Chains A and B, each alone.
Chain A
């Protein structure tokens, strides 16, 4: 169990190399990270994994991260066996993340097959 916890901790996206000071926010007239324009600018550089995480911080972060995720997220179904996953996704589709688009892509061909088809 302890090993598992340790593993989970080490699996963070990146290791913070320093401690964020505890009280540097106290002197500010208001919290910049609650200003919509500033949140939008900061989140614009965030990856999907971080945005998913930011949804849990507070309501206003949730709102911004959710709308960014909604505009960028998609799931790809590549094989017939993936249909079960598609079913699972649609089952979990919620008001926040409704399934709105499907992309149908062909299964990528293997190298040898491509050579074969080019011979013909």
Chain B
């Protein structure tokens, strides 16, 4: 079984099968690049992921392993509304996987899934974040997610006025 060493930003090395690693778009590209530049076809690729620490990388690999036999969905499937497959495909395993995580870990996982191009994981983590912000006030969202109001002049007031008639009553 062909293996690949994936190394986290803090130096932890994970030895995984290339078949598994290639389910990440980013790792797949990296492995193929390594193959082209290496003379020895038996050489084991080593990929350093400088933006992801061990704890998060372990979670991504764990998710990939659980889902390694899922059919690979075309990237643009159901992409018209960006909704992906979390709606229909979220398993009990995924729910148990996400349940113990605090929001900070989830946010890191979103960045990692985005960077490594793991679409399924990005879908379920984004859906989780939506469930955390739904029903919150603007101020709560701004404070929690460090989003600054960058409206100028009366732009915010104008938006508020538009919102008044947006809601059908």
Interface residues of A (CB under 8 A from B): 12-16, 20-22, 24-35, 37-38, 40-47, 49-50, 52-59, 61-62, 69, 73, 75-76, 88-89, 92, 94, 96-97
Contact = CB atoms under 8 A, between A and B. Distances in A.
Contacts of B143: 22
Interface stretch (B10-18, B23-31, B155-163): B155-163
Given A12-B135, A37-B114, A42 B167 contact: no
Chain B contact-residue range equals 35 or more
Given A42-B127, A44-B126, A45-B126, 18 more contacts: A13-B135, A16-B140, A20-B144, A24-B103, A25-B145, A27-B108, A28-B104, A28-B108, A30-B111, A32-B110, A32-B111, A38-B126, A45-B131, A49-B167, A50-B134, A55-B159, A56-B160, A58-B148
Nearest to A20: B144
A56 B147 contact: no
B138 A57 contact: yes
Contacts of A47: 134
Contacts of A34: 147
Contacts of B147: 31, 33-34, 57-58, 61
A29 B111 contact: yes
Interface of B: 51, 81-84, 86-87, 102-104, 107-108, 110-111, 114, 122-123, 126-127, 129-138, 140-151, 155-156, 159-160, 162-163, 165-168
A97 B51 CA distance: 40
22 contacts: A14-B134, A16-B136, A25-B145, A26-B146, A27-B108, A28-B108, A32-B107, A32-B110, A32-B111, A38-B122, A41-B123, A41-B127, A43-B130, A47-B134, A52-B163, A53-B138, A53-B163, A55-B162, A58-B148, A61-B147, A69-B166, A76-B168
